[in-house]
Amino acid sequence: MAIRTISPELLKLAELELNEVPNRRLEDIEQIQKWLKTDPRIKGRDDDQWILSFLRGCKFSLERTKEKLAHYYMMRTVAPEFLRNRDPLRPELQELLKLGVLIPLKKSSDSGAPRVLLLHDCGGGDSEAVSVANMVKVALMIMDILVNEDDNFVIAGHIVLHNFKGVTLNHAAQLTPIMVNNILVCFQNSYPSRPKEFHYINTPSFFNNIFNVVKLFMVEKLKKRIKIYNKDYQNDLRNSIPNDILPKEYGGEGGFVQELIDEWKTKVESYREWFLDDEQYTYFNDINFKSSFMPEEDGVVEGSFRKLTID
């Protein structure tokens, strides 16, 4: 399978921050493919572009890539409520796709910019009808699509704009410590993601009480990337998110949220066969590494047992 060509800006970023060596990509991909074929504990996707995304997410450490892929598939056993039965035509998922729980904004005109992800409607109306677990499931499905086809997301990272409007104590009551832990493991430990900033708006009165618990599961570097806004957030928000991609409902000129919801509902549905096929992949062994949140620090390069390249 051919590897997508990336922009000069992204290539420079990948070389400087992710230790990517263009003439060594295929060798690294083949190393992971060989491992997937020979390790009986794992059955995983072996296409070139998918593996390359994980290599980039692990700064081309072969051992860290193996660990992350194993963790990615292991979480299907640990948290099946997030990662199984992902047919986008299931009624409960259709409902959430129509709400726009998670929608990527338009791409920036800057070809080396991170993607911006909008958590638009996390209230979802009646919490008895819409489960937090299904919201996480849909969000992870969209993450899979981005890992598969969006090089800006994988290389430059992503910014999260989280609108808490409509979130109630009934939603918060669903967040058990185990669920919070598994959510963080999925988003930060199992996916090749690079979260850069978190912008929280319309936080409810009980937010601090809940967030103080969530922070217990977060590493310090992520806590420092969170900004919580007051009601008059629009001017400040434009300092962090380009105005031309920020939706009009949020004070920008990036079109309407409903247009993005419709676009991404269609996109997720177009991946239906991909998600159905994806059910077969798993990790067969018992957990032999931490299933709790394992922090990954930017700038830390773990050993990859690769031959030294002499310039």
pTM for the whole structure: 0.90
Which CATH architecture best describes the domain 91-270? 3-Layer(aba) Sandwich (3.40)
pLDDT at 129 exceeding the cut of 70: no
With bands split at pLDDT 50, 70 and 90, how would you rate the model's confidence at 218? confident
Whole-number pLDDT of residue 88: 99
Whole-number pLDDT of residue 172: 87
Q: Please indicate whether residue 230 or residue 252 has the higher confidence score (pLDDT).
A: 252
Whole-number pLDDT of residue 215: 86
Residues 98-104 have a mean pLDDT of 94
Residues 276-285 have a mean pLDDT of 94
Q: Please indicate whether residue 141 or residue 206 has the higher confidence score (pLDDT).
A: 141
Residues 28-34 have a mean pLDDT of 98
Residues 177-205 have a mean pLDDT of 92
CA 128 – CA 300 distance, rounded (Å): 43
pLDDT at 57 exceeding the cut of 50: yes
